[in-house]
């Protein structure tokens, strides 16, 4: 019978962790929502005093909005990450494009042979 006791202990532990995660998600959504302060305070008190009933009613009443806010937050984080990556990566001009511009300037006679060789060396890093 000890194996069955271990199974039940693991099941209850899993359910406890799931319950904690659900409470954190709901409290996060309450404070992220566009409700007024009184509405937020009411929901927090309701979830704290009657946890099972409060969570169940909150999920029924605001489950769809909860999903929308989660998707909006994920999209916002994705945009912020893309903007950061683009700002760190630079303008995106490759050395091949710069060499092509230098070659065009050299053909047009804007750059002398020495200036072209100097700029080409800077671009190639040699």
pLDDT one-digit tens code per residue, 42-98? 999 999 999 999 999 999 998 888 989 889 999 999 999 998 888 877 655 577 778
Give the residue among 102, 120, 123 at the shortest CA–CA distance from 111. Answer: 102
Between the alpha carbon of residue 45 and those of residues 32, 40, 55, 56, the distances in Å are 16, 9, 11, 14
Same domain, 103 and 85: no
pLDDT of residue 100: 87
Q: Considering the chain, what is the average pLDDT of its residues?
A: 88
* 29 contacts: CB under 8 Å, gap ≥ 6: 62, 66, 69, 70
Reported as a pLDDT band with limits 50, 70 and 90, residue 123 is: confident
Residues 6+ apart with CB under 8 A from 64: none
Rounded to whole angstroms, the Cα distance separating 55 from 76 reads: 27
104 and 74 fall within a common domain = no
pLDDT at site 63? 87
pLDDT of residue 81: 93
Q: If you count DSSP H runs as helices and E runs as strands, how many of each does the chain have, helices first?
A: 5, 0
Instruction: Please tell me whether residue 50 adopts helix, strand or coil conformation.
Output: coil
pLDDT of residue 91: 58
Shared domain for 104 and 66, answered yes or no, is: no
What is residue 33's DSSP assignment?
S
Does one domain contain both 125 and 111?
A: yes
Same domain, 50 and 7: yes
Residues 11 and 50 in one domain: yes
Question: What total of structural domains would you count in the chain?
Answer: 2
Task: Note whether 63 and 49 are same-domain residues.
Answer: yes
- Look at residues 69, 74, 75 and name the one whose alpha carbon lies nearest to residue 31: 69
Question: Is 44 in the same domain as 97?
Answer: no
Containing structural domain, residue 8 = 2-92
* Same domain? 58 vs 107: no
For residue 93, the model assigns a pLDDT of 57
Do 83 and 98 sit in the same domain of this protein?
no
Indicate if 52 and 105 belong to the same structural domain. Answer: no
């Amino acid at each position: 019978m000890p194996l069955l006791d271990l199974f039940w202990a693991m099941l209850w532990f899993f359910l406890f962790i799931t319950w904690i995660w659900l409470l954190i998600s709901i409290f996060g959504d309450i404070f992220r929502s566009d409700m007024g302060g009184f509405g937020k305070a009411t929901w927090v008190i309701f979830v704290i005093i009657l946890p099972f009933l409060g969570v169940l009613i909150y999920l029924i009443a605001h489950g769809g909005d909860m999903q929308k806010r989660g998707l909006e937050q994920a999209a916002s984080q994705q945009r912020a990450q893309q903007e950061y990556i683009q700002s760190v990566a630079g303008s995106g001009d490759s050395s091949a494009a710069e060499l092509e511009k230098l070659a065009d300037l050299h053909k047009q006679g804007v750059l002398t042979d020495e200036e072209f060789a100097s700029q080409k060396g800077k671009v190639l890093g040699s």
